[in-house]
């Protein structure tokens, strides 16, 4: 069974938009795209090309991301962060009022938002708060088996905000369970922070696996909004039918290519080591506080902690210019705060705020 049979019939039947840049290369006398003939910002580098539309899927960037994630180039779609990949998948595979996604809260909220925007149902397999929010594999499978509407299963590894990872064996069992009926979308936004191998290696052998990656986290490039969808070419082709004609601006493409240069790998490894060292400092600060009843370390660049007066502590720290993440819209996380791993100075500022909170009475 072809994976394309899971897509919306309207997407399969539609004639994709063909942009001027996709129909003809950026060479010669360009009179085909209604562009200005000159740039207002100079004539050197990308600044001198802002009057021209960029490549829809920049070849050098696609090649660089394919090398980074060790997949074929035709298995890569460059997107505006992981968020665009989530949106594209939901639009392609979920019919409004008929299909559903499955997610496992507490987790990244954009899976739910994308589904609700598309008019798809949201099926939740909640994590067990008494087991550090670990995922219940049997409940996941039982829910999947009982609901034929499910077209996309969204999982995050490491999960945000709990930091736990999806074991390879479980992922393979899930892919088999979903074969011919649903895609498994594994969001690996934080994959570089853990020691487990990426699931990208499984893309070639599993037609229903989609892996989401990003330069935002471990490559310290959140401001670029550059991500990638990794999947078999049939899925990439479907997503290309609905993606914006020019998703990435020329400056983003140029800077992303710079991030992917060989000399940046050593700098990135140094960054990851410093984050690991500072995470241990952060854990020491959190675990030494009597008002914190639980600390979930996870395998990402953040920790999750539990405290009885989470909302008050959040506001107290904000009043001292220390900004943490609360979850007022997530009942399962009412008593929890997420803290990102910052610099040594950031952690000192957090410790000072905690000291003041602890000694306020």
Q: How much is the pLDDT for 278?
A: 98
Mean pLDDT of 261-268: 94
Q: How much is the pLDDT for 33?
A: 87
- Does the pLDDT at position 43 exceed 70? no
Mean pLDDT of 272-291: 97
- Does the pLDDT at position 46 exceed 70? no
Mean pLDDT of the chain: 94
- pTM (two decimals): 0.96
- Does the pLDDT at position 224 exceed 90? yes
- Does the pLDDT at position 32 exceed 90? no
Is the domain 264-358 a CATH 3.90.1150.10 member? yes
The region of weakest confidence among 22-26, 104-108, 142-146 is 22-26
Distance CA 337, CA 312 (A): 11
Mean pLDDT of 232-248: 96
- Does the pLDDT at position 25 exceed 90? no
Mean pLDDT of 214-226: 97
Q: How much is the pLDDT for 64?
A: 98
Q: How much is the pLDDT for 178?
A: 97
pLDDT band at 28 (very low <50, low <70, confident <90, very high): confident
Mean pLDDT of 318-322: 98
Q: How much is the pLDDT for 22?
A: 81
Q: How much is the pLDDT for 47?
A: 60
Domain segments of the chain as ranges: 3-19+56-260, 264-358
| One CATH from 3.90.45.10, 3.40.640.10, 1.10.10.10, 3.30.420.340 for 3-19+56-260 | 3.40.640.10
Distance CA 229, CA 103 (A): 18
pLDDT band at 41 (very low <50, low <70, confident <90, very high): confident
């Amino acid at each position: 069974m072809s994976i394309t049979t899971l897509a919306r019939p309207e997407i399969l039947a539609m004639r994709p938009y063909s942009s001027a840049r996709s129909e003809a290369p950026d060479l010669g006398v360009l009179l085909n795209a209604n562009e200005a003939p000159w740039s207002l910002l100079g004539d050197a580098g990308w600044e001198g090309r802002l009057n021209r539309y960029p490549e829809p899927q920049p070849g050098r960037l696609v090649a660089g991301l394919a090398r980074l994630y060790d997949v074929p180039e035709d298995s890569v779609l460059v997107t505006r962060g992981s968020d665009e990949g989530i949106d594209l998948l939901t639009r392609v595979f979920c019919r409004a009022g008929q299909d559903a996604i499955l997610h496992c809260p507490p987790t990244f909220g954009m899976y739910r938002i994308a589904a609700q925007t598309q008019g798809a149902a949201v099926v939740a397999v909640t994590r067990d708060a008494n087991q550090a929010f670990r995922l219940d594999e049997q409940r996941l499978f039982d829910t999947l088996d009982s609901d034929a509407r499910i077209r996309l299963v969204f999982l995050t590894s490491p999960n945000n905000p709990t930091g736990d990872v999806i074991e390879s064996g479980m992922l393979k069992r899930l892919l088999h369970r979903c074969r011919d009926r649903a895609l498994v979308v594994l969001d690996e936004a934080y994959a570089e922070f853990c020691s487990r191998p990426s699931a990208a290696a499984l893309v070639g052998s599993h037609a229903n696996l989609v892996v989401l990656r990003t330069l935002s986290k471990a490559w310290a490039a959140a401001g670029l909004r550059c991500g990638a969808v990794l999947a078999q070419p049939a899925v990439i082709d479907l997503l290309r039918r609905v993606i914006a004609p020019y998703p990435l601006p020329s400056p983003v493409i140029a800077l992303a290519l710079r991030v992917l240069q060989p000399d940046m790998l050593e700098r990135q490894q140094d960054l990851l080591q410093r984050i690991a060292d500072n995470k241990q400092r952060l854990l020491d600060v959190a675990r030494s506080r009597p008002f914190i009843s639980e600390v979930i370390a996870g395998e990402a660049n953040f920790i999750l902690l539990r405290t009885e007066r989470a909302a008050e502590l959040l506001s107290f720290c904000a009043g001292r210019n220390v900004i943490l993440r609360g979850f007022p819209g997530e009942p399962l996380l009412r008593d929890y705060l997420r803290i990102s791993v910052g610099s040594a100075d950031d952690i000192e500022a957090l410790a000072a705020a905690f000291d003041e909170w602890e000694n306020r009475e």
